[in-house]
């Protein structure tokens, strides 16, 4: 089983989840390497990508946060667990644009931003680990990050 670095996969999910851009990310199940594609990227930024990246079934498309249920469902779960008195208010946030900004403002008012970040990180780790298991990959938590 090939290992994929947690940092690389988390970055790929963030990239694939970018709103307002045509973006996607892939993982090679043979090497564990991640690849990024965007209509906004310059040709030289795409040079290291395999030619058949978007057309071959040899690469795994990295899911978005929405596909991993790390968006609104996670926020509502957190509110149910940690701030149940604000549940209706937060549900109302998601009926209009700017929901996450209002959610973060509420976290600041309730002094719960750090709690949210820990909750979100734990949920992200679990979701990525499960996705890797479902796709025959091992999630590696070794030190990684930008060079």
| Residue 137 DSSP label | E
**53 band by pLDDT with thresholds 50, 70 and 90:** very high
Q: Is the dihedral of CA 34, 118, 64, 19 positive or negative?
A: negative
Give me 31's structure tokens. 């090497």
Concatenating the DSSP letter of every residue in 47-96 gives TTS-TTTTT-TTSEEPPPTTTTT-SHHHHHHHHHHH-GGGHHHHHHHTTS
Q: Above 50 in pLDDT, residue 147? A: no
Residue 69 and residue 73: Cα distance in Å, rounded? 6
Domain residue limits, the chain:
2-63+128-140, 72-119
C-alpha pair distances (Å), 131 with each of 36, 53, 144: 18, 20, 19
SS3 assignment for 100-116? HHHHHHHHHHCCCHHHH
129 or 41: which carries more pLDDT confidence?
129
Instruction: Flag the least confident range among 1-5, 6-10, 28-32, 143-147.
Output: 143-147
DSSP-assigned beta bridge partners for residue 36: 25
- For 112-138, how does the pLDDT look when each residue is reduced to its tens digit (9 = 90+)? 999 999 999 999 999 999 999 999 999
Residue 93, pLDDT score = 97
User: For the chain, what is the mean pLDDT?
Assistant: 93
């Amino acid at each position: 089983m090939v290992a994929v670095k947690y940092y690389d996969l988390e970055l790929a999910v963030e990239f694939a989840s970018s709103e307002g851009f045509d973006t996607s990310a892939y993982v090679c199940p043979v090497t564990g390497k991640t690849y990024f594609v965007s209509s906004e990227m310059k040709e030289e930024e795409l040079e290291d990508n395999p030619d058949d990246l978007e057309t071959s079934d040899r690469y795994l498309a990295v899911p978005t946060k929405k596909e991993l249920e790390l968006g609104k469902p996670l926020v509502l779960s957190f509110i149910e667990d940690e701030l149940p008195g604000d549940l209706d208010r937060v549900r109302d946030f998601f009926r209009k644009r700017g929901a996450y900004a209002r959610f973060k403002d509420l976290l600041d008012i309730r002094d719960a931003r750090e709690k949210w970040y820990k909750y979100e990180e734990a949920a992200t780790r679990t979701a990525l680990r499960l996705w890797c298991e479902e796709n025959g990959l091992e999630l590696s938590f070794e030190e990684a990050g930008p060079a």
